[in-house]
């Protein structure tokens, strides 16, 4: 489930990049690529700008909502897995004992003061 959403988010990010690159910052956009007035007759200058702008906002919204939804889904499934792994960690710590280090002798402290 999460993998499918992540793949869709990657596809949406690539499409968003393409849509942003299609836009012309000077206002011409996609319609100027078709030879000026011919493109304006075929698509209409205002309609082309509206379509590209709506696609940009749509992809942005999908990426934002999809990312937040995936984060919430992963956190909710992570808490269930954490309780199961805590039991295993408890079992491992109760059965394994770490040996204590030997205490230093008094002769070692006397040598270090010289």
Q: Where are the domains of the chain?
A: 1-76
The H or E element that residue 46 is part of is helix 45-95
Those residues whose C-beta lies under 8 Å from the C-beta of residue 20, and which sit 6 or more positions away, are 56
d(CA 45, CA 49): 6
Q: State pTM to two decimals.
A: 0.52
Residues of the chain with pLDDT under 50: 38-40
Q: Report pLDDT for 39.
A: 47
Q: Report pLDDT for 53.
A: 87
**DSSP, res 26:** T
In 3D space, the residue among 100, 88, 96, 71 whose CA is nearest the CA of residue 2 turns out to be: 71
């Amino acid at each position: 489930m999460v993998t499918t959403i992540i793949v869709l988010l990657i596809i949406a990010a690539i499409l968003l990049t393409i849509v942003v690159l299609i836009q012309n910052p000077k206002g011409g956009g996609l319609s100027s690529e078709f030879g000026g007035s011919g493109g304006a007759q075929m698509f209409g200058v205002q309609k082309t700008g509206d379509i590209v702008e709506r696609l940009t906002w749509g992809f942005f919204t999908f990426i934002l909502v999809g990312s937040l939804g995936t984060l919430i889904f992963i956190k909710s499934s992570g808490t269930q897995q954490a309780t199961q792994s805590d039991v295993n960690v408890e079992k491992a710590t109760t059965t394994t004992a770490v040996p204590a280090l030997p205490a230093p002798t008094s002769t070692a402290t006397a040598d270090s003061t010289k």
